[in-house]
Amino acid sequence: MPKTEETSILDVITFLDAVGYEFYRSQLVGNQCESMRTRWERMQKPQPGDLVMETSSCPMRLRGGKRPAHVASETGIGILESIAREPIVYDSWDETTDGPLPTEEVFYIRRLDNETIDSPWGNNVFRWTNANFVVLIPKEGWQEFAKVL
């Protein structure tokens, strides 16, 4: 991405999103060497503090044009704050007849831009459900991770 005066933080995030997706795809090989397999396993286990990317809607994000918030690059890549199991809220759920509320995995991502969003989960935090995340840069860094290989 050539640097221009019009390059914005959202341009950089979109670029990072595209490069991150290609990095993720480059790990999808059938006959992995040991270091690649170990890296792939770490990519599949996001932890709070990791730079992560949501992968299930990434191709939609990278097509360009206006996208809803749940498929925008600025909400699909960020620092993982936490992962939780939370109940799925239904309007017509009756725990006496239907049993306990089912739960789902929820990811809280701190956005990389400085845009303040109106969020009940904290300033600049986006909540994802029904999503898959991979690690782009672990909190310990790939250099530190490589030392244990």
- Which range, 46-60, 70-84, 97-111, 112-126, is most confident? 97-111
Alpha-helix residue ranges (DSSP H) falling in 65-139: 73-76, 95-98
Q: Which amino acid is present at 85?
A: R
Tokens, residue 1: 């991405």
Residue 15's pLDDT is what? Answer: 73
Spacing of C-alpha 54 from chain mean position = 3
- Model confidence over 39-80: pLDDT tens digits? 888 888 999 999 998 887 766 666 655 555 556 667 788 899
